[in-house]
Amino acid sequence: QIKAVLKQDPELILKSPSHPGPLAELDFWSSKASNLNAIYNQLQSDRVRRVLRFLDRAKSTYNAPFAKLCTEVFRARAEANDNNRFLKPLRPWLEELENMSSFEGLTTCFRPIIHLILLVWKGSAYYNTPSRLVVLLREICNCLIRQACGYVNGTLIFEMIEADEARKAEDMLRTLLRVFGAFKSTYWDYKAKALTEVPENPWRIQNNAIFVRLDAFL
Per-residue pLDDT tens over the stretch 92-107: 999 999 999 999 999 9
Evaluate if residue 1 carries a pLDDT over 80. Answer: no
Instruction: Give the lowest-confidence range in 4-8, 101-105, 128-132.
Output: 4-8
Greatest pairwise CA separation for the chain in angstroms? 85
More confident residue, 92 or 63: 92
Instruction: Please give the pLDDT value at position 204.
Output: 93
In contact, 175 and 196? CB cutoff 8 Å: no
Q: How far apart are alpha carbons 195 and 121 in whole angstroms?
A: 12
Confidence of residue 9 (pLDDT cuts 50, 70, 90): confident
More confident residue, 50 or 161: 161
Instruction: Please give the pLDDT value at position 105.
Output: 97
Task: List the one residue out of 40, 38, 26 whose CA is nearest residue 75.
Answer: 40
Q: What is the mean pLDDT of the chain?
A: 90
Evaluate if residue 155 carries a pLDDT over 90. Answer: no
**H helix or E strand, kind and range, residue 72:** helix 63-87
Confidence of residue 5 (pLDDT cuts 50, 70, 90): low
Instruction: Please give the pLDDT value at position 61.
Output: 65
Evaluate if residue 151 carries a pLDDT over 70. Answer: yes
**CB-based burial of residue 210 (10 Å sphere; 0-12 exposed, 13-18 middle, 19+ buried)?**
buried
